[in-house]
Amino acid sequence: MAKQSVKDLQTKDLEGKKVLVRVDFNVPLDGTTITDDARIAAALPTINYLKDNGAKVILVTHMGRPKGEKKPEFSLKPVAKQLSKLLGKDVPLASDCIGEAVASLVAKMGNSDVLLLENLRYYKEETNNDAAFSKNLASIADLYVNDAFGTAHRAHASTEGVTKYLPAYAGMLIEKELDYFGKALNNPKRPLVAIIGGAKVSSKIEVLKNLMTQVDKILIGGGMSYTFYKAMGYNVGKSICEADFIDTAKEIIKLAKEHDVELLLPEDILIADDFSAEANTKIVDFKSIPDGWEGLDIGPKSIKVYISVIKSAGTVIWNGPVGVFEIDQFAKGTFSIAQALADSNAISIIGGGDSAAAIKKAGLVDKIDHISTGGGASLELLEGKTLPGIAALLDK
């Protein structure tokens, strides 16, 4: 269902209004140095839109897992500093996210000012979606905007609770995420191809089942392949294999046949005698994995087949690497898929998490149509679930 966006609000609706904006500034830190500010940059269109229309912008976010304690290593000081730099104007950091000191700072804000409140997760009430905490957060604002897609699958005080007290709109980042995933799942340019990788079938069962009714082809890779091979009766050596999910893998193979979905597994595998960069390796047919060896990447034949499928696709959704790309020796498959997506004419959508990390490591970010900012949230969208932080926003 379409949601009302911040862009539905004009200057007359925003000028002088206090707007509480949930952003996802949970950025990686090395001490107090931000090592990747992509999440901050992703929220700039919404912040600038509100600022340019004369709103008083109050930003709230979490950082790490302080578990309800005020731990200085999880302070948003580095974020306020980087945001000030990116916006070209001073963004003060409040010492708290609720209370009189915050209310006093908000009261002094001028039109187009931006204020960042301290870490929401200094309070356990945030993740508990506590009603009193939600009401307290909402009390300083006239409107609410959610632009934190990465936390939209959580019903927390700042994502769902506050919407009970304020008119709630989608930010531009959330709008973009919903637009890409919505079109891919409901009205895709075909053929629609899903590349599903990662270590475990168990974490992707619902995704695979939901996609069966929508996609034309599914390419399987990563550790989950070996559970499928085992389900087909083949030896997998010491490869990762979820014995409890062999029947599930059989069910997914059956579903693919029933829905006329082409389910492709790697034809050949790069195997190693140890899980390390120094291991001995060789390429084998998927039916010929010897005892004592484990599969850690897809082989050259599989790479060729998968690239060919990507070339002829209209839309590609990729969630999960096809090998242990963190170790160079086992990264060829994942990076070949990343390059094929960058070179293709297909609409390319990356479901956050490790796939996004692989695209970044390959230096291909600018060649992909959409890289999701939420691994968990995008996974739940692909599973067909409703995200509480989005369901709570005003319908169009």
Tell me the mean pLDDT in the region 343-366.
92
Supply the angle between the helices 38-52 and 77-87 in degrees, to the nearest 10. Answer: 60
Tell me the mean pLDDT in the region 60-76.
95
Predicted local confidence at residue 79, as pLDDT: 97
Predicted local confidence at residue 374, as pLDDT: 86
Reported as a single tens digit per residue, the pLDDT across 288-343 is 999 999 999 999 999 999 999 999 999 999 999 999 999 999 999 999 999 999 99
Predicted local confidence at residue 375, as pLDDT: 84
Reported as a single tens digit per residue, the pLDDT across 240-292 is 999 999 999 999 999 999 999 999 999 999 999 999 999 999 999 999 999 99
Backbone angles phi, psi at 208, to 5 degrees: -60, -45
What 8-state DSSP symbol labels residue 79?
H
Cβ(127)–Cβ(365) under 8 Å? no
Cβ(47)–Cβ(59) under 8 Å? yes
CA separation for the pair 373, 29 (Å, rounded): 17
For the chain, the first-to-last Cα distance in angstroms comes to: 8
Q: Which of 7, 71, 135, 200 is catalytic?
A: 200
Between the CA of residue 393 and those of 20, 105, 375, what are the distances in Å?
Answer: 14, 27, 21
Q: Which of 64, 314, 376, 384 is catalytic?
A: 376
Do you find a cis peptide bond into 191, omega within 30 degrees of 0?
yes
Predicted local confidence at residue 1, as pLDDT: 59
Query: Is 124 known to be catalytic?
Result: no
- Rounded to two decimals, the pTM is 0.91
Predicted local confidence at residue 331, as pLDDT: 95
Task: With H, G, I as helix, E, B as strand and everything else as coil, classify residue 83.
Answer: helix
Q: Which of 22, 39, 217, 332 is catalytic?
A: 39
* Residue 98: CB atoms within 10 Å: 24
Tell me the mean pLDDT in the region 166-184.
95
CATH numbers and ranges of domains, the chain: 6-173 (3.40.50.1260), 188-382 (3.40.50.1260)
Predicted local confidence at residue 164, as pLDDT: 97
- By the 10 Å C-beta count (0-12 exposed, 13-18 middle, 19+ buried), 155 is classed as middle
Closest CA to 147 of 47, 79, 75, 57: 47
Reported as a single tens digit per residue, the pLDDT across 78-100 is 999 999 999 999 999 999 999 99
Query: Is 39 known to be catalytic?
Result: yes
Quick check: 110 pLDDT over 90?
yes
CA separation for the pair 44, 172 (Å, rounded): 9
Between the CA of residue 106 and those of 80, 101, 158, 238, 262, what are the distances in Å?
Answer: 16, 9, 17, 59, 56
Q: Where are the alpha helices (DSSP H) in the chain?
A: 11-14, 38-52, 77-87, 100-107, 124-127, 131-138, 172-186, 205-211, 225-231, 246-258, 300-311, 332-343, 353-361, 375-382, 388-391
DSSP secondary structure, 217-243, as one string: EEEE-STTHHHHHHHTT---TTS---G
Cβ(271)–Cβ(295) under 8 Å? yes
Quick check: 198 pLDDT over 70?
yes
Reported as a single tens digit per residue, the pLDDT across 124-169 is 999 999 999 999 999 999 999 999 999 999 999 999 999 999 999 9
Closest CA to 60 of 155, 165, 144: 144
Cβ(143)–Cβ(20) under 8 Å? yes
Reported as a single tens digit per residue, the pLDDT across 374-387 is 888 998 999 989 99
Predicted local confidence at residue 86, as pLDDT: 97
CA separation for the pair 228, 247 (Å, rounded): 9
Task: With H, G, I as helix, E, B as strand and everything else as coil, classify residue 63.
Answer: coil
Query: Is 161 known to be catalytic?
Result: no
Predicted local confidence at residue 91, as pLDDT: 98
Query: Is 200 known to be catalytic?
Result: yes
Predicted local confidence at residue 75, as pLDDT: 96
